[in-house]
Chains A and B, each alone.
Chain A
Amino acid sequence: MPFLDHLTLGQYVPLNSFVHSLDPRCKILGTMALITSVFLANASPWPYLVWSALVVFLCILSGLSLKNVLASTRPALLLVLFTVIVNMFFAEGEELIRISFISITREGLLTGIKMGLRLYFLIIFANMTMMTTSPLELSDGIESLLSPFRRFGVPAHEFAMMMTIALRFIPTLLEETDRIMKAQLARGADLDSGGIAKRLKAFIPVLVPLFVIVFQRADELAVAMEARCYRGGIGRSRMKPLHWASRDSFSLVVVSMICIGGVVLDRWIS
């Protein structure tokens, strides 16, 4: 199968849905609210049911299938697993299993599962925001949200432009990586067998051309931007100005209520 023949983490899926049509600022603020509440509600299992129901509901509203959303978070599962394991081994409490000097406690196991689940929900919510918001909209939204901090010296436009370029080039570089990997495989390279050292060495013929292409592209882009008189954010107009509509306010209020509800439910039950 091709290396990139699946949805990657955070890959934008252009569809015509209610969630896609929302203002990016609404989606960013909503995601931040959800992430905050996921980390505040940590005592009982009930909020997790609320977040799960919300993920399903958002899938319906966004036209994305739950299977695709979960499949695209697969690369992050290793991080989730690592979090579970670290928490499992380093918490004190009632011992469940002991192998040599390593012991797994009941409290450790519960904390690990909870931490893993919270991290996974965080990844899912952030992933869904990116799947339903184009990179350009996302950076416009961030620039707009950061603009009040400009008076304190925060370079909102420059930060957003850096993000736009980075996000814009992720798919391009993934394609380039895919192409170079295939070109080297066609020359008999063996990229997926042997130990870590052998695999790292096998990747040199992929990384060197990739770096060359990255520098070439960066140089070309800089020249193209200068040729079009780019001089930073002052006085720049927008082709598609952001427009906050009543559905954005409504959606943000609903998400905030759910977040507060989740935290209150958690505190009340515990």
Chain B
Amino acid sequence: MSLEVCSVSFIYHKDTPLETKSLSDVSFRVEPGEWVAVVGHTGSGKTTLAQMLNGLIFPSSGEVIVDGLKLYPKAPHLKSVRRKVGLVFQYPEHQLFAETVLEELMYAPRNFAIPEDEAMEKIKRVLKAFELDEGILSKNPFELSGGQKRKVALASIVVTEPHYLVLDEPTAGLDWKGQEALLSMLRTFRDNGTGVIQITHDIEMVLDHCDRLLVLEEGRRRSWGPPAHVVEELADHPAKGLVLPDVLEMALRLRRAGLNVSLTWSEERLIRDIEKEVSSCLS
């Protein structure tokens, strides 16, 4: 059981003057209960990759395999794969259409032929997970606040309880509090066995949460592995357009200046290391 991306390449507008290579020989693997963050600059191929994981587009070369099922156009198992891999687009509230929140939340379960009573149970569970009151079900989604719209849109995808959850810039447009709430929700999903794939340009946001990090640069895999390993690689050879956390930049400068501090993005740890260095110098 895993989501595997094997040597995937993708070309937009193939054989036209607008031909663009979006992804080039990218490979990685996500296990259930694992949080993988995909980071990269604008145009690095993150969104293309996200759409490929759900079978919305297919690789020009290479393979995407979800729990042993290979994705290809018109594959008979495409719909079941889409149920296994929930995909949250950027600004998911733009996909809302139904007259009531209940209808909105019922949309995916009905499409995946989940019985109504089972779907209602799932809806109740998802409302609880998103800290939404059951009274919201009768409301018009277009009349909700921005934060609630985002929650309903996310809930409408999570309601089918996918094995893997792919989120394309899920925190875009949210304030700090909203971002924290969303990340804590993702942690819960991960702890419950869902494979989380978060796509973002903000490496600082994911370093503390993710288990593994994939850095894309101009459609190529620039670095892959646990955050500490990736950070070490990026420290030596920075990736194009990727802004490292301020604390990490500071640690890098201190190391270059000859101080023995660890390559960390944790403020507390860096302060501790500096204090240790200072006291060893004084003694």
Q: Are B157 and A68 in contact (CB under 8 A)?
A: no
B177 within 8 A of A: no
**Which residues of A sit under 8 angstroms from B82, Cβ to Cβ?**
185-186, 188
Interface centre among B12, B17, B73, B87 (most CB of A within 10 A): B17
Q: Are B16 and A6 in contact (CB under 8 A)?
A: yes
Q: Are B13 and A6 in contact (CB under 8 A)?
A: yes
Contact with A along B1-16 (1 / 0, CB 8 A): 0000000000011111
**Which residues of A sit under 8 angstroms from B87, Cβ to Cβ?**
183, 186
Q: For A187, give its contact among B12, B18, B57, B108 (CB under 8 Å).
A: B108
Least Cβ distance of B10 to chain A in Å?
A: 9
Q: Are A2 and B57 in contact (CB under 8 A)?
A: yes
Q: Are A68 and B89 in contact (CB under 8 A)?
A: no
Contact with A along B94-126 (1 / 0, CB 8 A): 111110000000011001100000000000000
Rounded to whole angstroms, the CA-CA distance of A65 and B160 in the bound complex is: 46
Q: For B17, give its contact among A63, A184, A189, A212 (CB under 8 Å).
A: A63
Q: Are A188 and B108 in contact (CB under 8 A)?
A: yes
Interface residues of B (CB under 8 A from A): 12-18, 51, 54, 56-58, 73, 79, 82-83, 86-87, 89, 92, 94-98, 107-108, 111-112, 142, 156-157, 160
Q: Are B95 and A188 in contact (CB under 8 A)?
A: no
Least Cβ distance of B206 to chain A in Å?
A: 22
Least Cβ distance of A235 to chain B in Å?
A: 38
Rounded to whole angstroms, the CA-CA distance of A206 and B92 in the bound complex is: 13
Contact with B along A212-227 (1 / 0, CB 8 A): 1100000000000000
Interface centre among A2, A176, A179, A188 (most CB of B within 10 A): A188
Rounded to whole angstroms, the CA-CA distance of A208 and B160 in the bound complex is: 23
Least Cβ distance of B82 to chain A in Å?
A: 6
9 more contacts with CB within 8 A, not counting A2-B12, A13-B18, A187-B95, are: A1-B57, A5-B57, A6-B13, A7-B13, A68-B17, A180-B94, A182-B51, A188-B79, A188-B111
**Which residues of A sit under 8 angstroms from B157, Cβ to Cβ?**
186-187
Q: Are A15 and B107 in contact (CB under 8 A)?
A: no
A-B contact count (CB 8 A): 82
Q: Are A186 and B86 in contact (CB under 8 A)?
A: yes
Interface centre among B13, B14, B86, B98 (most CB of A within 10 A): B13
**Which residues of A sit under 8 angstroms from B17, Cβ to Cβ?**
13, 15, 63-65, 68
Rounded to whole angstroms, the CA-CA distance of A64 and B18 in the bound complex is: 11
**Which residues of A sit under 8 angstroms from B95, Cβ to Cβ?**
180, 183-184, 187, 205, 209
Q: Are A7 and B12 in contact (CB under 8 A)?
A: no
**Which residues of B sit under 8 angstroms from A182, Cβ to Cβ?**
51, 56, 89
**Which residues of B sit under 8 angstroms from A208, Cβ to Cβ?**
97
Least Cβ distance of B125 to chain A in Å?
A: 17
Can you sample 21 A-B contacts with CB below 8 Å? A1-B58, A1-B73, A2-B12, A5-B57, A6-B13, A7-B13, A7-B16, A63-B17, A65-B17, A68-B15, A179-B89, A183-B92, A183-B94, A183-B95, A186-B54, A188-B82, A188-B112, A190-B79, A190-B111, A204-B97, A205-B107
**Which residues of B sit under 8 angstroms from A184, Cβ to Cβ?**
95
Rounded to whole angstroms, the CA-CA distance of A5 and B51 in the bound complex is: 14
CB within 8 Å of B: which A177-206 residues: 179-180, 182-190, 204-206
Interface residues of A (CB under 8 A from B): 1-2, 5-7, 13, 15, 63-65, 67-68, 176, 179-180, 182-190, 204-206, 208-209, 212-213
**Which residues of A sit under 8 angstroms from B12, Cβ to Cβ?**
2, 5
Rounded to whole angstroms, the CA-CA distance of A206 and B107 in the bound complex is: 13
Least Cβ distance of B106 to chain A in Å?
A: 11
**Which residues of A sit under 8 angstroms from B97, Cβ to Cβ?**
204-206, 208-209
**Which residues of B sit under 8 angstroms from A64, Cβ to Cβ?**
17
**Which residues of A sit under 8 angstroms from B86, Cβ to Cβ?**
186
**Which residues of B sit under 8 angstroms from A188, Cβ to Cβ?**
79, 82-83, 108, 111-112, 160
Rounded to whole angstroms, the CA-CA distance of A208 and B94 in the bound complex is: 10
Rounded to whole angstroms, the CA-CA distance of A249 and B63 in the bound complex is: 54
**Which residues of B sit under 8 angstroms from A67, Cβ to Cβ?**
15
**The 3 residue pairs across chains A and B that have the minimum distance between CB atoms:** A188-B111, A208-B97, A186-B87
**Which residues of B sit under 8 angstroms from A2, Cβ to Cβ?**
12, 51, 56-57
Rounded to whole angstroms, the CA-CA distance of A176 and B157 in the bound complex is: 19
Chain A residue with minimal CB distance to B78?
Answer: A185
Rounded to whole angstroms, the CA-CA distance of A183 and B54 in the bound complex is: 10
Q: Are B111 and A187 in contact (CB under 8 A)?
A: yes
**Which residues of A sit under 8 angstroms from B14, Cβ to Cβ?**
5
Least Cβ distance of A226 to chain B in Å?
A: 24
**Which residues of A sit under 8 angstroms from B58, Cβ to Cβ?**
1
Rounded to whole angstroms, the CA-CA distance of A184 and B57 in the bound complex is: 14
Chain B residue with minimal CB distance to A211?
Answer: B97
Q: For B94, give its contact among A6, A65, A190, A213 (CB under 8 Å).
A: A213
Rounded to whole angstroms, the CA-CA distance of A15 and B18 in the bound complex is: 10
Q: Are A183 and B108 in contact (CB under 8 A)?
A: no
**Which residues of A sit under 8 angstroms from B79, Cβ to Cβ?**
188, 190
**Which residues of B sit under 8 angstroms from A15, Cβ to Cβ?**
17
